[in-house]
Structure 1
Amino acid sequence: MPLPPIDQLLRRWRRRPALPALGLAGALLLGLWPASPGTPDGRHLERILAREFLQVHTRNTPTTYYEGREGPTGFEYELVRRFSASLGVSLALRADHHIASVLEAVRREGDLGAAALPLTPGLDGVIFSRPILELQPVLVYRRGLPPVTGLDRLQGLRLGTLAGAGTDRVLRELKAEHPSLAWEESDDLEAAELLRWVEDGRLDAAVLFEHQFRLNRLFFPGVERGFALGEPLSLAWAFPAEGGLALAQAANRFLAALHDEGELEALVARYFGHDDYLEYVGARTFIQHLHARLPDYTELFREAARQTGFDWKLLAARGYQESHWDPEATSPTGVRGLMMLTLPTAGDLGVSDRLDPAQSIEGGARYLRELKDRLPESITGEDRLFMAMAAYNVGLGHLYDARRITEQRGGDPDRWADVRESLPLLQEREWHSQTRHGYARGGEPVIYVRNIRRYHEILSYVDRSQEQFYLLNARLPEPEESHDAILSVAPGQ
């Protein structure tokens, strides 16, 4: 069954009233009752403004906060960053939490919990903001099992979910109507780990939220989407009840303005509307682009290769993986250009215009050379190249974290074959909580390097085929630089 497109998610979300008519109790719950910093109810906000920073408790996950290719990122990180700026204070993050510890930290320390928290009316010691995003629980199951299309198909299957995430609450509500429904839950796992457990057979099925599955499904091809489960929940921020209402009120004004300006919808689309941009698109499409697009940039790749010592076809393969040789490409996270440079990286490289193909290709090649040169001398040969490419995608810090995990698991941190087995573990709390740089979408660099190698093989095949064409056909002169031949012969054509 196909996943509903993000525009359906957005349409459902937009239908929610801006301020639900919950009466006085609901207004108190959501922090909407008037309060100002100078009143007793505003004392918490007063302290924040006086010390000039907002303390936010969150989780190191792809939907909340993590260290990405272009620096700190994540849907809720972006929201709290903007909120702290609206208050005129800096942002202090503590991201070593799971859901239960976020709420406890909010009660004890304040200021704000932003960690994919389900709005839970009546929760002791906590008040919530207005709803931010709709969370639709879905059931997923291991590929190869008979299709799981309803609760009646769960008989005999081992089912799991995350404790405190809200999906457990949905299951409890459903159990009232389906007494035989049984599941296991954990507050030590995150969504990626839950999906891995399904794929490797430790669970048969799991319940998580739609957006969590969308963000992770590329890395778990052995997991199928089953069906939507129960009614949607609402994601919200949590505040300490004893701190008064002014901070929650300020947050609600901020979120309402973000919604009215269309910025909230844009953030939802940016972080949850793209889940397939790294997928391999197939040889036929690649060959079509090879004929239509690559000739415009071949000489630029050759020149960058001469300056940096790489095979120009490897640089071209990277360019295709990054942008499909589209000089105006822009990723969901804001990296741009043919080689998809981040703004800080472009600045460091002296690239003034990321959309200029010549600057992008030259800068991307130099950056790959810098990464390769910075790796430990113990990494040699193709292993060094593959790890440099992985660092280009996920960041050098996360690559080093994966190398340390490889050592812990008894592997060789200088071999790409071992490190690529460890990179996806950066998506699992059990492992990334032990690292310096925390969560990363570690499956991405594995796919990234694999795809570039595939594209490079095709380019090399085409190039060799053209060389052989000139050598075997005496009627045509052999070019002066046959290894740099224009790629115009496609396999199977």
Structure 2
Amino acid sequence: MKNKARIGLVAGATILSGLVLTQCQPSEDAAIVTDSTTIDSIREGGELVVLTLESPTTYRRSAEVEEGYEIDIVQEFADSIGVKPRYVVMDNVEDLIQAIEDGRGHIGAAGLTMTEARSARVKFGPAYKNVEEAVVCHQKGPAPTSLEALSDVKLTVLAGSSYVETLQALKADHAGLNWATRRAGSAMPMLSAVAMRRVDCTISDSHLAEYARRLYPDLIIPMTVSDDRPLGWIYNQKIGGMDTALKGWFAQQHTNGYLEELDEHWFGHLDEFDYVEVLRFVERVEDRLPEFKNYFQAAAATTEFDWHLLAAQAYQESHWDPDAVSGTGVRGLMMLTLPTAKELGVKDRTDPAQSVEGGARYLQRLYERVPDAVQGEDRLWFALAAYNVGMGHIYDARRIAERKGLDKNSWDDLRTVLPLLSKPEYYKSVKHGYARGHEPVRYVRKVRDYYNMLRANVPV
């Protein structure tokens, strides 16, 4: 993906030096938008003031890193107009909308649903993602599947949200609907309250609900209360040329596939959910990871990789069991083969420190062997797949991709080709022969899923 941060790589993170962050709300007299403000004057000033909300699917800060779906989009737009974004984290939805209305920010990028009530106050840019509004409950509590049943549960939703507008509209035909509200930056505190069984249910955007299930496996989604609804940035209509700039830029990003690819980057791993698997992972984050966390952090310090990524890979390999052994003889946290261990100087594969350090160095070597034409996070996926199946088979898959007119440098294309290496008409035509090509595809998907769950559970 063009200009996108490389997931799992320290070098790819958005670092404090790359943006200016304000964590307090702007003062009442800090209006920056006047009748003379234009997109050109913003360019001349060199700064785009972006109001946002803290949420796992919008904006989050961990140690010295700021990241989020919205941040990635904002950074691309800011680059296109030649400015740096300055982020202002607001306390809640209503404060953000009011601040844009008052001219205390140029745009509001916070996963805001386009609604009539909001459109009456501020301008929306083009839609960039569609979501449903999902009812989220605990598997041991009420699980309403109709609006009548929803009327009987203790429902708490985000104050000032589109969910309130939806419920108000539904109440016209379902008078029994009642709910409490809570002011927050996102629905996440309510999702947490449902997980702790402090309230029966809440409502959340579907992608945030699916994300929350990686933190709280007991959450369920028994119903939705809306069809697909578009998300958009908001901005103060006084800004001359902002409407044209946003329309043109978003049209280009829809056309070139950037938004689709970014959506896959952030949310593609949420498509599949295995309750038992996620529950086991969350439990092992608590009872196994602390013993090995320092080893992952030490290995990350000597490679390009985020320690969460190395830990996620180790979980896929061994479920963080230093004594793990497979039928093929690989063993240890990072499941090194004996020849690879000897090559790396690892004397004891069951020693956690040696295994993690050796596995990280091996992944680094594979990463460096990936052809230079493979860029961004695709390079990481190629290296992880090679860790699983061998670099020779990756080279073979690239050759097949090229023959089929696919992009041999794209993981999205390569993952459709790798399974073909188990078919004679394909593996007989390449240098390294047969491979169970579906396994590296699954391997990369699982590491990616564990990586995202791990960052959600252990952010620092």
Q: TM-score, normalised by structure 1?
A: 0.54
Segments of 5+ residues of structure 2 without an aligned counterpart are 1-33, 285-314, 392-449
1:266-289 deviations in whole A, cap 9, x for unaligned? 111111111379945899996998
Deviation of the 1:219 alpha carbon: 1.0
Q: Partner of 1:243: helix, strand, or coil? A: coil
Matched, 1:336 2:375: no
- The CA RMSD over aligned residues, in Å, is 4.6
Where does residue 149 of structure 2 map in the other structure? 153
1:106-132 deviations in whole A, cap 9, x for unaligned? 223221100111213464542111111
Percent identity for Structure 1 against Structure 2: 22
**Rg comparison, structure with higher value:** 1
Distance 1:269 1:293, change over 3 A: farther
Q: Partner of 1:271: helix, strand, or coil? A: helix
Q: In the alignment, which of 132, 135, 140 is matched to residue 139 of structure 1?
A: 135
Q: In the alignment, which of 106, 110, 135 is matched to residue 105 of structure 2?
A: 110
More displaced stretch, 274-283 vs 196-205? 274-283
Return the letter of the residue paired with 1:253. Answer: G
Q: Is the 8 A contact 1:301 1:315 kept in 2?
A: no
Where does residue 412 of structure 1 map in the other structure? none
Q: In the alignment, which of 247, 252, 267 is matched to residue 262 of structure 2?
A: 267
Structure 2 Cα separation of the partners of residues 205 and 122 of structure 1: 25
Q: In the alignment, which of 46, 69, 72 is matched to residue 75 of structure 1?
A: 69
Matched, 1:91 2:85: yes
Where does residue 60 of structure 2 map in the other structure? 66
Q: Is the 8 A contact 1:84 1:90 kept in 2?
A: yes
1:55-98 deviations in whole A, cap 9, x for unaligned? 11111211112235994321111101000000011121112442
Q: Partner of 2:61: helix, strand, or coil? A: strand
Q: Partner of 2:177: helix, strand, or coil? A: coil
Deviation of the 1:312 alpha carbon: 3.2
What is the correspondence of 1:426-437 to structure 2 with a 5 Å cutoff?
Answer: none
Q: Partner of 1:225: helix, strand, or coil? A: strand
Deviation of the 1:291 alpha carbon: 3.4
Structure 1 Cα separation of the partners of residues 145 and 364 of structure 2: 41
Return the letter of the residue paired with 2:88. Answer: R
Structure 1 Cα separation of the partners of residues 106 and 231 of structure 2: 17
Q: Partner of 1:50: helix, strand, or coil? A: helix
Distance 1:159 1:291, change over 3 A: same
1:310-343 deviations in whole A, cap 9, x for unaligned? 963466479999x99996799x977837997xxx
1:256-306 deviations in whole A, cap 9, x for unaligned? 100011111111111111137994589999699833583783344577686
Segments of 5+ residues of structure 1 without an aligned counterpart are 1-39, 341-352, 359-392, 395-423, 425-439, 447-493
1:13-62 deviations in whole A, cap 9, x for unaligned? xxxxxxxxxxxxxxxxxxxxxxxxxxx98842122011111111111211
Q: Is the 8 A contact 2:59 2:70 kept in 1?
A: yes
Structure 1 Cα separation of the partners of residues 126 and 336 of structure 2: 50
Distance 1:289 1:75, change over 3 A: farther
Q: Is the 8 A contact 2:54 2:186 kept in 1?
A: no
Q: Partner of 1:139: helix, strand, or coil? A: strand
Structure 1 Cα separation of the partners of residues 354 and 383 of structure 2: 9
Q: Partner of 1:83: helix, strand, or coil? A: helix
Structure 2 Cα separation of the partners of residues 293 and 132 of structure 1: 48
Q: Is the 8 A contact 2:133 2:224 kept in 1?
A: yes
Q: In the alignment, which of 234, 250, 254 is matched to residue 249 of structure 2?
A: 254
Structure 2 Cα separation of the partners of residues 114 and 139 of structure 1: 24
Matched, 1:180 2:180: no
Q: Partner of 1:55: helix, strand, or coil? A: strand
More displaced stretch, 275-284 vs 169-178? 275-284
Q: TM-score, normalised by structure 2?
A: 0.57
Where does residue 443 of structure 1 map in the other structure? 457
What is the correspondence of 1:210-221 to structure 2 with a 5 Å cutoff?
Answer: 210-221=206-217
1:391-428 deviations in whole A, cap 9, x for unaligned? xx99xxxxxxxxxxxxxxxxxxxxxxxxxxxxx9xxxx
Q: Is the 8 A contact 2:336 2:359 kept in 1?
A: no
Q: Is the 8 A contact 1:336 1:354 kept in 2?
A: no
